[in-house]
Homo-oligomer: A and B are copies of this chain.
Amino acid sequence: MARRLVVVGGVAAGLSAAGRARRLQRDLEVTVFERTGFCSYTACGLPYYISHVIGDHADLVMRTPQELAREGVDVRVRHEVSEIDTANRRIRVSDLESGSESTVGYDELVIATGASPIAPVPGTGRDGSFTVRTIEDALAIDAWIASRRPRRGVIVGGGYIGLEMAEALGARGIATTILEREADILPLVDPDVAAEVVAELRRHGVEVVTGAAVEEVEGDGRVTAVRAGGQAWAAEIVIMGIGVRPDVAVPRAAGIPIGPLGAISVDPRMRTGVDGVWAAGDCVQTRHLLHDGPAYIPLGTTANKQGRIAGANIGGLHEEFGGVVGTSVLKVCDLEVGRTGLTLRQAQAAGLDAAAGTVEHKSRAAYYPGGRPITVKIVAERGTGRLLGAQLAGGEGVAKRLDVIAAALHGAATVDDVAGFDLSYAPPFAPVWDPLLLAARQAEKAL
């Protein structure tokens, strides 16, 4: 009888695992159960569908179940796994269309259940209140805007998805307010970098209110306002962008070990410690190379890598996931902003004696047309000179400059090393002293 691989979750991690394992073992019988109606979709593209930068939601789907079937991967959408029986190596599955239940046996199981948005305030069930996680969410928001033509919107939470959705609502002609509980939006960067993002949002007509802890989404059936700090912000549409939490209820009930951060604990090969059970993606915690401890940073890039590694190991190879350095990037209107490693605030909170150097410079040679200002902040450790992280914000050239620092973090570089990096130069692409090199020199001085 063929060896059976069952995968719970048919998006980034799940399908990466399924595909890799199947390519390595052509006789593997692979079945993937996906709770939503779509598999292999990119959650990161959803705001661009809502903003109409992308016209067809089919473009958000990398591969359809039909295409995956031709690769030997049997994907069942609208199927929810409700129970895992690790002792008998079988799962319980509900067909959400028909309501029928069935039991499916496995030899190897990959848990790639992902994460779900949290919405910890009353009233989020009202008509006009949305989260943004699945293609269904995006279709619902798009249709709702088209039919109801809301004029005022509130985004709850000034994180990545909140900012992308603020831009998307703005593109649909909706006057938008971001309500952020903390003193600054975008806690993944330091306040000085976040201030550049706030300025950009305001330039584009988005209102940003910080220190506003949302108490309730108000309305009478339909949303009319969001109450925060005793004040009411009128809104016909509300997007909850507070964050996500790993979907681990079913694995937890099955006795799969959950780590201190509330996500599944895995080893570098993506094994859960339970025989035949692997996990990958937004439902697992991962190793952070900067502090060598566990971190929960749910991102599609990591999910894809981890899925591939789980698949490789199921397929008979020995591969390990090295860990993350905490890289992420975002476009906010005409500003690119991102971070890698630790922010100064994170480094100090972790007890490190850290300092930062910041420069603002042009993205190209001063005399070459089209350059845009770019801010680079580099964080390093006093005493050792160890590079700890970087944050960038600017009009162009942010994402891949971040990746230069990400590569340096993977290589355990010092700021002196970075200041000496042999980076490329031609007038259309950079000044002769790239802003990264100048920021590294500033960081050297700050140490």
**B-binding residues in A (CB < 8 A):** 12, 42, 44-45, 48, 53-54, 59-60, 299-302, 304-305, 321-331, 336, 338, 340, 365-369, 397-408, 410-413, 417-418, 420-430, 432-434, 436
Q: Is the pair A48, B330 in contact by a Cβ cutoff of 8 Å?
A: no
Across the interface, which residues of B come within 8 angstroms of A59, CB to CB? 366-367
Q: Is the pair B423, A44 in contact by a Cβ cutoff of 8 Å?
A: no
Across the interface, which residues of B come within 8 angstroms of A369, CB to CB? 53
Decide: A424 near B329, CB < 8 A? Known: A400-B397, A411-B411, A417-B322: yes
Across the interface, which residues of B come within 8 angstroms of A302, CB to CB? 422
Q: Is the pair A48, B368 in contact by a Cβ cutoff of 8 Å?
A: yes
Q: Is the pair B53, A368 in contact by a Cβ cutoff of 8 Å?
A: yes
Across the interface, which residues of B come within 8 angstroms of A340, CB to CB? 422, 424
Across the interface, which residues of B come within 8 angstroms of A53, CB to CB? 368-369
Q: Is the pair A325, B422 in contact by a Cβ cutoff of 8 Å?
A: yes
Nearest residue (CB) in B for A370 is B53
Contact of A423 among B327, B365, B408 (CB under 8 A): B327
Whole-angstrom CA separation of A54 from B426 in the bound complex: 14
Report A427 CB to chain B, min CB distance, Å: 5
Report A240 CB to chain B, min CB distance, Å: 21
Nearest residue (CB) in B for A326 is B422
Report A167 CB to chain B, min CB distance, Å: 11
Decide: A433 near B304, CB < 8 A? Known: A48-B427, A299-B425: yes
Decide: A42 near B324, CB < 8 A? Known: A403-B400, A432-B304: no
Report A244 CB to chain B, min CB distance, Å: 17
Report A150 CB to chain B, min CB distance, Å: 25
Number of copies: 2
Whole-angstrom CA separation of A364 from B58 in the bound complex: 17
Whole-angstrom CA separation of A417 from B407 in the bound complex: 9
Q: Is the pair B432, A44 in contact by a Cβ cutoff of 8 Å?
A: yes
Q: Is the pair B338, A424 in contact by a Cβ cutoff of 8 Å?
A: yes
Q: Is the pair A44, B406 in contact by a Cβ cutoff of 8 Å?
A: no
Across the interface, which residues of B come within 8 angstroms of A367, CB to CB? 42, 45, 48, 54, 59-60
Across the interface, which residues of B come within 8 angstroms of A338, CB to CB? 424, 426
Q: Is the pair A406, B423 in contact by a Cβ cutoff of 8 Å?
A: yes
Across the interface, which residues of B come within 8 angstroms of A425, CB to CB? 44, 299-301, 328-329
Decide: A426 near B330, CB < 8 A? Known: A410-B411, A411-B412: yes
Nearest residue (CB) in B for A60 is B367
Across the interface, which residues of B come within 8 angstroms of A398, CB to CB? 429
Report A142 CB to chain B, min CB distance, Å: 15
Whole-angstrom CA separation of A265 from B324 in the bound complex: 41
Closest 6 CB pairs of A and B: A411-B411, A400-B400, A399-B429, A329-B424, A59-B367, A407-B407
Across the interface, which residues of B come within 8 angstroms of A45, CB to CB? 365, 367-368, 427
Q: Which of A401, A403, A427 has the most CB of B within 10 A?
A: A403
Across the interface, which residues of B come within 8 angstroms of A44, CB to CB? 365, 425-427, 432
Whole-angstrom CA separation of A420 from B409 in the bound complex: 12
Decide: A417 near B410, CB < 8 A? Known: A44-B365, A432-B304: yes
Nearest residue (CB) in B for A336 is B429
Across the interface, which residues of B come within 8 angstroms of A426, CB to CB? 44, 328-331, 338, 399
Nearest residue (CB) in B for A407 is B407
Report A386 CB to chain B, min CB distance, Å: 13
Q: Is the pair B411, A407 in contact by a Cβ cutoff of 8 Å?
A: yes
Q: Is the pair B424, A402 in contact by a Cβ cutoff of 8 Å?
A: yes
